[in-house]
Amino acid sequence: QKEVEQDPGPLSVPEGAIVSLNCTYSNSAFQYFMWYRQYSRKGPELLMYTYSSGNKEDGRFTAQVDKSSKYISLFIRDSQPSDSATYLCAMRERDNYGQNFVFGPGTRLSVLP
Partner 1 sequence: DTGVSQDPRHKITKRGQNVTFRCDPISEHNRLYWYRQTLGQGPEFLTYFQNEAQLEKSRLLSDRFSAERPKGSFSTLEIQRTEQGDSAMYLCASSLNGEAFFGQGTRLTVV
List of residues contacting partner 1 (CB under 8 A): 4, 6, 8, 31-32, 34, 36, 41-46, 49, 51, 88, 90, 92, 98-106
DSSP string of 27-95?
Answer: -TTEEEEEEEEE-TTS--EEEEEEESSEEEEETTEEEEEETTTTEEEEEESS--GGG-EEEEEEEEEPT
Smallest gap from Cβ 50 to partner 1, in A, equals 9
**CB of 36 or CB of 72, closer to partner 1:** 36
**CB of 69 or CB of 100, closer to partner 1:** 100
Q: Cis omega (within 30 of 0) on the bond before 10?
A: yes
Smallest gap from Cβ 112 to partner 1, in A, equals 21
**CB of 16 or CB of 42, closer to partner 1:** 42
Smallest gap from Cβ 15 to partner 1, in A, equals 25
What is the rounded (10 degree) CA torsion for 74, 77, 81, 83? Answer: -30
Smallest gap from Cβ 36 to partner 1, in A, equals 7
